[in-house]
């Protein structure tokens, strides 16, 4: 992993958490300039600094060094593919899947009404 990769990972986590650089730097006890330099790949931070940043992000240092991998096995809106999968099932299994799906959608709709 390069310093630039590490910076990109930190920036992505920070943005997902909707935290600006100033707040993350303050939580980590480092300067905003140092955090900016880390995120841009211009700084070569010590393990101590990286441990402070990881703690401020609420993760272990190892998590930053081993970024999560998102694997999208099935596009979220590819209903034709779901239909193809369903068509391969025997009729009784198709009915079970559809009944389960209808129940899950009903529960989701009810939960979202409560929000």
Q: How far is the C-alpha of 115 from the C-alpha of 112, rounded, in Å? A: 5
The span from the first CA to the last CA of the chain, in angstroms, equals 41
Q: What is the pLDDT along the chain (115 residues), one digit of tens a residue?
A: 788 888 999 998 899 889 999 999 999 999 999 999 999 999 989 999 999 999 999 888 888 887 555 444 555 566 776 787 788 888 888 888 888 888 888 888 877 766 5
Q: How far is the C-alpha of 24 from the C-alpha of 38, rounded, in Å? A: 12
Of the CA atoms within 13 Å of residue 86, those in its CB half-sphere come to 14
Dihedral sign from CA coordinates of 14, 16, 17, 20: positive
pTM over 0.75: no
Please state the φ and ψ torsions of residue 44, each to the nearest 5 degrees. Answer: -115, 85
Token pair recorded at residue 1: 């992993």
In 1-115, which residue ranges form alpha helices assigned H by DSSP? Answer: 3-16, 21-28, 32-39, 47-57, 61-65, 79-87, 91-114
- E strands, the chain, where? none
């Amino acid at each position: 992993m390069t310093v630039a990769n590490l910076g990109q990972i930190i920036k992505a986590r920070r943005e997902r958490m909707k935290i600006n650089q100033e707040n993350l730097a303050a939580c980590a006890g480092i300067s905003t300039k140092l955090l900016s330099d880390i995120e841009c790949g211009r700084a070569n931070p010590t393990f101590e600094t990286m441990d402070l940043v990881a703690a401020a992000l609420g993760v272990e240092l190892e998590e930053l060094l081993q970024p999560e991998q998102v694997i999208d096995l099935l596009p979220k809106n590819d209903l034709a593919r779901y239909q193809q999968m369903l068509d391969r099932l025997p009729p009784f299994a198709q009915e079970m899947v559809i009944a389960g799906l209808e129940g899950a959608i009903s529960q989701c709709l009810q939960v979202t009404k409560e929000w």
